[in-house]
Amino acid sequence: MRMLPHAPGMTLTADAFYPPTTLIGFSMQRHQLNVYWHFHDFYELALVTSGTGRHFTSLGERAVQPGSVIFVPPGAGHGYRLCNDLRVYNCFLRSEVAQFELMWTSRDPRLGALFGGRGGEADGAPVVLELDESEMAACIAHLDQVRLREPTDRSAAHDLGHFLLALDVLGRRLGMSPPATERGMAAPAVVIGALELIERDVTHPWSLGELSTRLYVGPHHLCHLFTRWIGQPPMAFVSRRRAELAALLLVSSNDPIAAIGVAVGWPDPSLFSRAFRREHGVSPRAYRLRHRGELLHQTTLVPHRLVHP
């Protein structure tokens, strides 16, 4: 398993996962808590093989479980939260492959939804599908033909052929039911902008006034749109994301609890404790004691320490 440093708003690159001469790469991940909002410069095909969690994008969030498949185009932000031993079979495709070797896919009646049609790169939204057991097995079998082949025996024709056969499974499912893109329409630009500002620096002392000023929109209008699309007001979302980050640091670092509060944007220990309890139902100290043992072997794309601002 490849472990990479990861911070909110970070853009992951294909070269960090596999050699520049390789068209397709893989990463088997186990997410036990949260995976920050992030971007990447490649296509990602993520197959959930076990566990549960919630996948979120700028359009909202939805539950994922075994059988869930997420196809993420380059430049689309996404992440996971509230994961419970979520295991994901990740397959990566370089964006230039879609531009050249697979340029025809955007015109394909089925694959066009992934490579430039509805729910795909054209509107910047990941596609989420639910496969049955046989479809998931077929998809993984094709990808394993690439992943498990000796590097010296791999070729572009072989790799792309099996990758396309895996995508054909998704394409057939797309033909039977419309893809889920978290919501039916793209979120307004102001909501996406607010999410990007918050996720870029969740520890910043955000206020509704500052967000609305930076987005050139009235605070009441911003709050209304954000609540409609995300399900809670901007400041409640900030509190939730800080509490999720704090929960991760509590179980994956030895930092003092007060220092973790400072690191996530709550320098007042009593405020940190109240806000954390509101989100998780217990105090930071109780959360650490309850969850630390089960998360000692965490292997997810998140940092083990946060550099204090």
pLDDT tens per residue across span 82-98: 888 899 999 999 988 88
Instruction: Please check whether residue 116 is in contact with residue 123, taking contact to mean a CB–CB distance below 8 angstroms.
Output: no
> Which CATH class, in words, describes the domain spanning 11-176?
mainly beta
* Domain segments of the chain as ranges: 11-176, 189-295
Residue count (the chain): 309
- Residue 73 tokens read as 């185009």
Q: Name the pTM for this structure.
A: 0.60
What is the model's pLDDT at position 137? 95
Mean of the per-residue pLDDT values for the chain?
82
Answer yes or no: CATH 3.90.700.10 is held by domain 189-295.
no
The pairing of beta strand 78-94 with beta strand 42-57: antiparallel
- Classify burial at 107, counting beta carbons within 10 Å of its beta carbon; exposed 0-12, middle 13-18, buried 19 or more: exposed
Comparing 11-176 with 189-295, is the CATH topology the same?
no
CA-closest candidate to residue 291, choices 244, 258, 259: 244
Give the containing element (helix H, strand E) for 153: none
What is the model's pLDDT at position 230? 78
Q: Residue 59, SS3?
A: coil
- Residue 293 tokens read as 């043992």
Name which of 69-73, 232-236, 247-251 the model is least confident about. Answer: 247-251
* Banded model confidence at residue 262, pLDDT cuts 50, 70, 90: very high
Residue 98 neighbours by CB distance under 10 Å? 22
* Banded model confidence at residue 183, pLDDT cuts 50, 70, 90: very low
Read off the pLDDT of residues 158-177 as tens digits, 9 standing for 90 and up: 999 999 999 999 988 887 65
**80 pLDDT above the threshold of 70:** yes
Q: Residue 280, SS3?
A: helix
Place of tokens 């609890």: 257
**21 pLDDT above the threshold of 50:** yes
Read off the pLDDT of residues 147-156 as tens digits, 9 standing for 90 and up: 999 988 889 9
